[in-house]
Amino acid sequence: MKKVIEVFNRSISKSIKFLKKDKMAMMSVIIYLFFLIIVIIAPIIAPYNPHEIIKENGKYLFNQPPSFKHLFGTTNMGRDIFSQLVYGAGPSMLVGFVASFFVVVVGTLIGLFAGYYTGKLGEFLMRLTDLAFGIPFTPFIIVLISFLGPSIKNIIFSISLLLWRDTARIIRAQTLTIRERSFVEAARVSGASDMRIIFIHIMPNILPLSLLYGSLAMGWAILAESSVSFLGLGDPNSMSWGYILNDSFISQAMSRGAFYWIIPPGICIMLLVMAIFFVGRASEEILFPKLKQQ
């Protein structure tokens, strides 16, 4: 456990030093933290409930253009778009966080055991990974959610079922290399159990790589959730950016020139995913400094 903490602390110190040099990575972290703060203070800064139909002076405010009261206007049902945008960050980031956690845990464990046990167990785990690679990602999520029903839990479950495959394959390759090193052989000769070798001696060396692929998986999960919600399979009880785009598409906002309804959620998705991928790129350069020299 101490080794894991030491590796984590070293990674944090390296990241801080790198962010001071890489302006793009620093900007991406700021964008990411901005959306995280928005999620936390959403009830404070959102003037309306995202599902509330606004009525003023006895009239419903349908299809209102942007104004001081409604920064991004209102929907065809009289709902405040700015409030929907603020609350929409929560489900998107929740799916990203939870899905990436499962990706890190499942992908790392499968990769560790497949790399350490190169016999029947390792072969079985890699064939399972190959099977996961053979299933198309987005169509699989659409079909599974259609059967299970649209909800945040089912979206996270569907994404997590396949997104671990890249992590597992990379971690296995790294484990195959580390298991042959002298310190692992010394631990084996001294009588250490397989579980101790895997989790005490090998895992601290591949943990930064697992976190890297976990951060990349977060971006893919947010894109997947937005895509599924845009297709009308998102949780109807929660407001997400994909849900806003779906609502605007069904309401033919484009044909009415209501770009204030379409552009903001699209920009939010783009900025968040871009920030996550740039942070992942920065993490890759921290882990593998030689890449920057090539």
Catalogue all structural domains in the chain, each as residue range(s) with its CATH number.
2-8+18-44+81-289 (1.10.3720.10)
Residues in the chain with pLDDT < 70?
1-22, 282-294
Supply the pLDDT for residue 85: 92
pLDDT at 37: 92
Residue 291 has a pLDDT of: 47
Cα 259 to Cα 248: distance, rounded to the nearest angstrom: 9
Residue 113 pLDDT = 92
Whole-number Å distance between alpha carbons of 75 and 63: 5
Give the ranges where 231-251 is alpha helix by DSSP (H).
241-250
Count the alpha carbons within 13 Å of 103 in the hemisphere toward its beta carbon.
32
Q: How far, in Å, CA of 221 to CA of 160, rounded?
A: 8
pTM of the model: 0.82
pLDDT the model gives residue 7: 54
Q: Rounded to an integer, what distance in angstroms lies between the CA atom of residue 121 and that of residue 159? A: 25
pLDDT of residue 193: 86
- The whole-number pLDDT of residue 269 equals 92
pLDDT of residue 109: 92
